[in-house]
Structure formats: structure tokens, C-alpha cells
Amino acid sequence: MRIELTVNGTRREADDVWEGESLLYALRERLGLPGSKNACEQGECGSCTVYLDGTPVCACLVAAGQAQGREVTTVEGLAGEELDPVQQAFVEKGAVQCGFCTPGFLMSTKDLLERNPEPTDPEIREALAGNLCRCTGYEKILDAVRAAAVAKR
């Protein structure tokens, strides 16, 4: 089948999409956007988090066909001329080691700060509980989220 959708503000289409393909596969393998990550492909790790019409979802759990006609934002769409404050904070605070979880954390963090510009630590932890990181022990991720909250004010 053919799918048409808007990704990071640009109208995109893909042909010969198999009905069983996920949005994650379509983004990574058909649209040249591998920034959303394939750590578990079963909705447990959050590394593929994207916004579907503004709502964070695991792209691995969304069928590519479900994105037909909708708007998708991926990690590749976060930065403009400069890095988004959330991206900048993750780099500066050492929240990135291997970085495989990072795109998902960035998307979840940006969503959190838009809903709640001054989150407490328990609120940060609750909001990011669906994103797994194996390298950092999360301390520097917390540092980054706190710093991003300050920077965005």
C-alpha cells in the first residue's frame, strides 16, 4: 500500500508498504529517518518515541498505515538552526553515553516540559518511567531535564 503523512513538517509518501509494517519501520527504512530507535520493538523501552498529531507514542506499536494523513514529529525534527534546549541540556549534562535511548528521552522530556514547565523530581521520574536507559543510571538524565526546564523558562 501507499502511505502519505507529514513528517517534521514535510509531506512524505512511501510505496509498497506491507500492511504489517510499523510506523517505526517506515520512518527508519523507508523515509530515511533512523533517529527513532529500535531497541525493543515491543513498546517497553521508549526509544522509538515520536509525536503522532502531537501526542507521544511508541512508533513501534503504531502500524504505518495508522499514520496515514497524520502529522509525525521525530527526533530529527527537534532542532532548528540551533539545538532545542532539551537536546542542548542532554549534551551538556553528560546524559548521553551510548545514546541509543536518547532520542526517546528527548521526545518524552520535551513533552513533559510542555505540559509541566517546572516538574519536581518525582514528576520527572514518573514522566520518564517508560524510557529505559542502560548506561547512565539516570542521574545525569535527571540533571539534564532539570537544566532544560530552567533553560526553557
Partner 1 sequence: MTSTETRTAGRLGDSPLRPDGTLKVTGEFAYSSDLWHDDMVWGVTLRSPHPHARIRSIDVTEALRVPGVSAVLTAADVPGENAVGLEHLDTPALADGVVRYQGEPVALVAADHPETARRAAKRIVVDYEVLPAVTDPRRALDADAPLVHASREDNLVRAMKIRRGDPAPTAPVVVALDFEVGMQDQAFLGPESGLAVPDGEGGVDLFVATQWLHVDQGQVCRVLGLPPEQVRLTLAGVGGAFGGREDLSMHVHACLLALHTGKPVKMSYARDESFFGHVHRHPAWLRYEFGASEEGELIYAKADILFDGGAYASSTGAVVGNGGTLGLGPYRIPSVHVDARGVYTNNPPCGAMRGFGCVQAAFAHEALMDELADRVGVDRVEIRARNGMVEGDLNITGQVIDSAAPVAELIRTVRDLPLPPEPEGERDIRELPGGASNTTHGEGVVRGIGYAVTYKNVGFSEGFDDYSTARVRLEAVAGEPVATVHTAAAEVGQGLITIEQQICRTELGVDQVVVHPKDTSVGSGGSTSASRQTYVTGGAVKAACEAVRTSVLRRAAALLQRSDLRLDGDKIVAESGEVVAGLVEVLDEPVEETVEWRHRPTFPIDPETGQGNAHVQYAFSAHRAVVDVDTELGLVKVVALDTAQDVGRALNPDAVVGQIQGGSAQGMGLALMEEIVVQDGHVKNPSFTDYLIPTILDMPPMQVKVLEYADPHAPYGVRGVGEPPTISSGPAVAAAVRAATGKALRRVPIRPEHITF
Per CB under 8 A, residues contacting partner 1 are 18, 20-21, 28-29, 32-42, 44-45, 47, 74-76, 78-79, 83, 87-88, 90-92, 94, 96-103, 106, 122, 124-126, 128-142
Cell digits of residue 151: 533553560
Residue position matching grid coordinates 517546572:
118
Q: In angstroms, what is the minimal distance from the CB of 79 to partner 1?
A: 6
* CB 71, min distance to partner 1, A: 18
In the bound state with partner 1, the residue whose beta carbon lies nearer, of 69 and 149, is 149
CB 91 within 8 A of CB 84: no
| CA angle (71, 24, 126) in 5-degree steps | 80
Q: Give least dist CB 13 to partner 1, A.
A: 18
B/e letters for 87-113, b = 16+ CB within 10 Å, e = fewer, are bbbbeebebbeeebbbbbbbbbbbbbb
What are the backbone dihedrals phi and psi of residue 142, each rounded to the nearest 5 degrees, phi first? -60, -45
Whichever of 29 and 69 has its CB closer to partner 1, that residue is: 29
Query: Phi first, then psi: what are they for 141, rounded to 5°?
Result: -70, -45
Residue placing its CB nearer to partner 1 in the complex, 67 or 86: 86
We find the least distance from the C-beta atom of residue 34 to partner 1, in angstroms, to be 4
Smaller CB separation from partner 1, 140 or 152: 140
Indicate the DSSP class of residue 89.
H
